[in-house]
Chain A
């Protein structure tokens, strides 16, 4: 190590606790040189004074003033969920005995359904035959109801076209249903967001 004093950057290296190839000679020099030791101590005093500086506090009303101008955006699905929960909450059981009774009833229904499913699996062929019969009956009933609804809504010619199963008409019908669903979703969103709008 030369007999020069430490440069300011070298003092900073020691302050930062750096380790490495060039640091050991600096440390050795500081041990032997009272002037550089004093300079390092003075530098440490400054750093320690900085680290002791307190965190200052704003006024006690700071948070309220900030929140007064914050625009809280609630995503529509969160607003819809909150609205649904708020609607159901008055009917939720509040006392422990009622909650126990409701829980017991739910478990009983679940157990019955499970037992029924197991029985059905054991009698699968009979169940499939029965399901086929039910399907035929439901399709016939659905066709009858659909014919009545289509005739009522769109008139006899359109109802006849639907009954013939034209692909273009079916496509138009599907598109109409999709638009109706979209309109319902948008309406739900509007209702949900309007309930959460801040004053």
Chain B
């Protein structure tokens, strides 16, 4: 017998309403829709797969166990990203090694911590090819993102990976619009500096 309705085709608000009515399938549909975006955001914030899975799991548990608190005037995705961002930021603060940068994390106190939190930019050795393939650029940009401050990281990821507008990011992260623009602009500048050795073949 065919299903009376297909959850995958329902808008988020309807799926949430079904979840609030106690439908198991609606909870699973919410997870199916947003496990990748939430996990991607958290992973790129914390840079550790195992921790990212646990934090993404925490994000969904916080959301789904309090689904009655969801307010339909906000997007479900924004609500989930807000929880994910808070969970990731709290984790990074507890770890106290918030950034990986060329010279090591600002909070790194010992030589081993500095080594663990630093990375090297490839030197400008002349090569037979001037172009860097897009795959290498992708890896380089992932490493460069890890060097950003957490606040810059979450804003730049939501802007350019998740495609959110400035206003949406400001609402999701409870930041003034001007602050969001500043964070994103500074993140772009830092990424450009970190990738100053990468050139596309024209």
Contacts and interface: CB of A to CB of B under 8 A. Distances in A.
Interface of A: 8-9, 12, 15, 42-43, 45-47, 49-59, 62-63, 65-67, 69-75, 78-79, 196
Interface residues of B, number: 42
Contacts of A55: 36-37, 40, 161
A196 B134 contact: no
Contact of B188 (A47, A57, A59): A47
B27 A67 contact: yes
A53 B161 contact: yes
Contact of B192 (A43, A58, A71): A43
B86 interface: no
B43 A56 contact: yes
A63 B65 contact: no
Contact of A65 (B52, B57, B195): B57
A184 B189 CA distance: 68
A52 B138 contact: yes
B24 interface: yes
B21 interface: yes
A36 to B, nearest CB: 14
A70 B40 CA distance: 22
30 contacts: A12-B184, A12-B185, A45-B137, A46-B141, A46-B195, A47-B188, A50-B141, A50-B191, A53-B44, A53-B138, A53-B142, A53-B161, A54-B40, A56-B36, A56-B43, A56-B44, A57-B35, A57-B39, A58-B36, A62-B39, A63-B31, A66-B61, A66-B64, A67-B31, A69-B61, A70-B27, A73-B22, A73-B68, A78-B21, A79-B22
Contact of A62 (B57, B68, B160, B188): B57
B32 A63 contact: yes
B146 interface: no
A28 B43 CA distance: 41
B81 interface: no
B53 interface: yes
Interface centre among B43, B53, B188 (most CB of A within 10 A): B188
Interface string B39-59: 110011000000011001100
